[in-house]
Amino acid sequence: MLRSEELPDCFYYQNKPTLITPNTSTPNHSLYLSNLDDQKFLRFSIKYLYLFEKAVAIDILKYSLSKVLADYYPLAGRLRPCGGAGDDDKLVVDCNGEGAVFAEGFMDISCEEFLQISRKPNSSWRKLLYRVEAHSFIEIPPLVVQVTNLRCGGMILCTAINHCICDGIGTSQFLHAWAHVITKPTLDLRILPFHSRHVLKPRDPPQVTHTHLGYTKTTFKDNNIHVDINQYLQSQPLVPTSFTFTSAHILRLKRRCIPSLKCTTFEALASHTWRSWVRSLDLSTTFKVKLLFSVNVRKKLIPEIPQGYYGNGFVLACTETAVNDLVASNLHHGIKLIQQAKSSLTDGHVRSMIDLLEDKNVKTDICSSLVISQWAKLGLEDLDFGQVKVQVSVPECVVEKFEYYMMDGLDEEENGEQNGFI
């Protein structure tokens, strides 16, 4: 049994991975990326890790991937600067069928041992995804896959999917399509990808008709000293934390909202996490802090974005408040702000944001912000809503305080309490 919290090294069957290309000819063109796709903060890959007790044959995985790439052909292309110069230019996808990276390896570990080591996020997980040597983000292929066979006969499947090409809903759609080709090879895909991004093209000329708090930089002054919370956080060693909230925990959180306010589980947890994060940092009560959180706008636009839209169909909603107003009150204050931010995302607001982003100097304001991504409705797994997991990286020096505020009083039994959601 492994005693270390570190995964063993991965042995690769080949020195270099193979390239999996679409099994049929695909369109050869430059694919326009919308302003929602082409934001600087999305220039990274969304990574997934799946653990299987029984390995799938490599030949089946490769063949099925080549088959599904015929429909999801941008993932077999390459990102290119539109002007042919540096990373700061607008990006497009060169749909050239060059192929997705596929690596195969072996790790001397069992499924059970992996689960024991991986109860919390672990930096040694990086060993499970082939690292493509590249000088810049755009040189990394949009899809990188590694299959790691385990001692017990199981396997770990890791994927990295470029966030500029699709969002979490798109990655889920692709992974479901790949699984469909493996398990139901004779049946057509239930949802085909819709690749055209012109449904989110900016107006000509751009019309910024709304205020966009998430892109408005907030400067703090305390005794004439400018404070950048994000800069402070980046200067500290960050430690991943992980919390599991049961249905009883959620119920107790919602009961803390006084006066009572009908809210979703996400709204209650987001408000609670934001408030706990701010409390743990011991910020001046006069500071303004922001919460940024992703919202799917596929059904908020007029007309609605077509089914299967394979691009980024989310925006960051934003709300702001003074530290004192957030921490001195109960969850009601934060929940109300979150609901107002969500309801403000009308068709006109989103179109205005797309037009604003036509200016490539506009950047997301993260100097005072906690950014939350919601993964509960992406369809990546069969969800058990009896439990919800929250993971946040915080400075090492405040881990204990943050953990205390996140779980304070939630495990206490209340007379007559019944588990369940409100």
User: Does residue 416 carry a pLDDT above 80?
Assistant: no
Most confident of the following: 84-98, 114-128, 392-406: 392-406
Judge whether 276 lies within some domain: yes
Taking 3-state DSSP, the helix, strand and coil percentages for the chain, each rounded to the nearest 5, stand at 30, 25, 45
Q: Spell 10-37 as b/e; 16+ CB within 10 A means b.
A: beeeeeebeebbbeeebeeeebbbbbbb
Of the residues 140, 166, 198, the one at which a domain ends: 198
Percentage of residues in the chain having pLDDT higher than 90: 71
Q: What is the reported pLDDT for 218?
A: 65
Name every residue whose Cβ is closer than 8 Å to that of residue 52 and which is 6 or more positions away in sequence.
111, 154, 155, 156, 157
Of the residues 149, 167, 198, the one at which a domain ends: 198
Phi, psi for residue 46 in degrees, rounded to 5: -85, 125
User: Does residue 393 carry a pLDDT above 70?
Assistant: yes
Judge whether 29 lies within some domain: yes
Q: Compute how many other C-beta atoms are within 10 angstroms of the C-beta atom of residue 209.
A: 12
Same domain for 296 and 355, yes or no, is yes
Judge whether 98 lies within some domain: yes
Same domain for 277 and 349, yes or no, is yes
Long-range contacts of residues 281-284, Cβ cutoff 8 Å, at least 24 apart: 281/229, 281/395, 281/398, 282/398, 283/229, 283/323, 284/220, 284/222, 284/227, 284/323
Give 348-383 pLDDT, tens digit per residue: 999 999 999 999 889 898 888 999 988 766 655 443
Same domain for 245 and 193, yes or no, is no
Same domain for 21 and 150, yes or no, is yes
With cut-offs at 50, 70 and 90, classify the pLDDT of residue 384.
very low
Same domain for 175 and 239, yes or no, is no
Same domain for 243 and 163, yes or no, is no
SS3 state of residue 273: helix
Show the tokens assigned to 412.
């206490």
Higher pLDDT, 200 or 419: 200
Q: What's the average model confidence in pLDDT over 320-337?
A: 95
Give one word for 416, left, alpha or beta, with left for phi > 0 and alpha for psi -120 to 50: left
Same domain for 290 and 342, yes or no, is yes
Of the residues 171, 198, 225, the one at which a domain ends: 198
Judge whether 406 lies within some domain: yes
Ordered DSSP codes for 181-243: HHH-TTSPPSS--B---GGGPPPSS----S--GGGS---EEETTEEE-HHHHHHTS-EEEEEE
- Parent domain of 130: 11-198
SS3 state of residue 106: strand
The dihedral built from the CA positions of residue 97, 298, 271 and 213, taken in this order, carries a sign that is positive
Q: What's the average model confidence in pLDDT over 148-154?
A: 96
With cut-offs at 50, 70 and 90, classify the pLDDT of residue 231.
confident
How many domains, the chain?
2
SS3 state of residue 132: coil
Among the ranges given (92-101, 120-129, 218-227, 354-363), the one the predictor scored with the smallest mean pLDDT: 218-227
Give 274-303 pLDDT, tens digit per residue: 999 999 998 889 889 999 999 999 999 999
Cis peptide leading into residue 205 (ω within 30°): yes
Same domain for 15 and 160, yes or no, is yes
Judge whether 335 lies within some domain: yes
**CATH classification of the domain holding 334:** 3.30.559.10
Same domain for 180 and 320, yes or no, is no
Q: What is the reported pLDDT for 221?
A: 52
Most confident of the following: 220-229, 245-254, 382-391: 245-254
User: Does residue 236 carry a pLDDT above 90?
Assistant: no
Same domain for 137 and 181, yes or no, is yes
Same domain for 117 and 188, yes or no, is yes
The amino acid at residue 108 is D
Judge whether 130 lies within some domain: yes
Average pLDDT of every residue of the chain: 88
Judge whether 340 lies within some domain: yes
With both helix axes pointing from N to C terminus, report the angle between 399-407 and 265-281 in degrees, rounded to the nearest 10. 140
The amino acid at residue 339 is Q
Percentage of residues in the chain having pLDDT higher than 70: 90
Judge whether 4 lies within some domain: no
The amino acid at residue 358 is E
Q: Are 77 and 94 in contact (CB under 8 A)?
A: yes
Same domain for 183 and 278, yes or no, is no
Give 4-36 pLDDT, tens digit per residue: 478 999 998 877 899 999 999 999 999 999 999
Q: Are 364 and 301 in contact (CB under 8 A)?
A: no
Among the ranges given (28-37, 176-185, 345-354, 389-398), the one the predictor scored with the smallest mean pLDDT: 389-398
